[in-house]
Amino acid sequence: MAFSDYVQARSPVLLRTARSLTPNPADAEDLLQTALTKTFQAWDRIDDKRAIEGYVRRVLVNTRTSQWRRRRIDEYATDELPEVPHPGPDEAEQQALRDAMWRAVRRLPPRQQAMVVLRYYEDLTEAQTAEVMGTTVGTVKSAVSRALAKLRCDAGLRPGFERDTGLDRAAC
């Protein structure tokens, strides 16, 4: 398989992964471009072409982590979540709820954020997530569990959360 064929076939999926890792769509495109550049440089060294997908995802996560480490903090977490209307059939309301969830996911530490994205948005198994992250399945399980607990607690600050999700605020 040629590199250009791979990029043409997999770019939409890889862009979705990049968008899951960064809050700004333009930054996601830059992240993907950087990851593809790094992949192109290593293309001839990758013997098993079936492993390319995992390699590119790993490059995306590593590149994003490096960006986080280099960047100064210019965003500050807040104790209050924006008020989100109750989900309903209205597309605008559902989009607002998705936006609120992404903001909550983005407040997670970079490693937990990457694991949640790979596990639930990319629909990878725990083993696949562990492989991409270069860690053990147990580490993925515990990190994702802590991340989900934090997301539940954060979401529990919003009035009506228990009614919408059935989760208990006392679990926080």
32-74, pLDDT tens digit by residue? 999 999 999 988 888 887 888 889 999 999 988 887 776 666 6
Q: Are residues 18 and 64 in the same domain?
A: yes
pLDDT higher for 88 or 120? 120
pLDDT in tens, 135-157: 999 999 999 999 988 888 876 64
**How crowded is residue 15: how many other Cβ atoms within 10 Å of its Cβ?**
16
Query: How far apart (Å, rounded) are the C-alpha atoms in residues 103 and 114?
Result: 14
pLDDT in tens, 98-117: 888 888 888 899 999 999 99
Q: Specify whether the CB–CB gap between 127 and 155 falls below 8 A.
A: no
* pLDDT at 25 > cutoff 70: yes
Query: How far apart (Å, rounded) are the C-alpha atoms in residues 61 and 113?
Result: 10
* Residue 67 structure tokens: 């960006």
pLDDT at position 104 is: 87
Would the pTM of this model clear 0.85, i.e. be above it? Answer: no
- What residue numbers bound the domain in which 139 lies? 91-172
- Give the phi and the psi of residue 109 in degrees, each rounded to 5: -60, 150
Output the average pLDDT for the chain.
81
Which of 38, 69, 100 lies at the terminal end of a domain, its last residue? 69
* Residue 90 structure tokens: 């209205």
Q: Please indicate, yes or no, if residue 81 is contained in any of the structural domains.
A: no
pLDDT at position 161 is: 46
Q: Are residues 102 and 150 in the same domain?
A: yes
Please, what's the largest Cα pairwise distance for the chain? 54
- Structurally, the chain folds into a number of domains equal to 2
Mean pLDDT for the stretch of residues 20-28:
88
Q: Are residues 107 and 171 in the same domain?
A: yes
Q: Are residues 98 and 156 in the same domain?
A: yes
User: pLDDT exceeding 70 applies to what percent of the chain?
Assistant: 81
**How crowded is residue 102: how many other Cβ atoms within 10 Å of its Cβ?**
15
Using DSSP, state whether 122 is helix, strand or coil. Answer: coil
Compute the chain's Rg from CA coordinates.
Answer: 18
Distance of CA 134 to the CA centre of its chain: 16
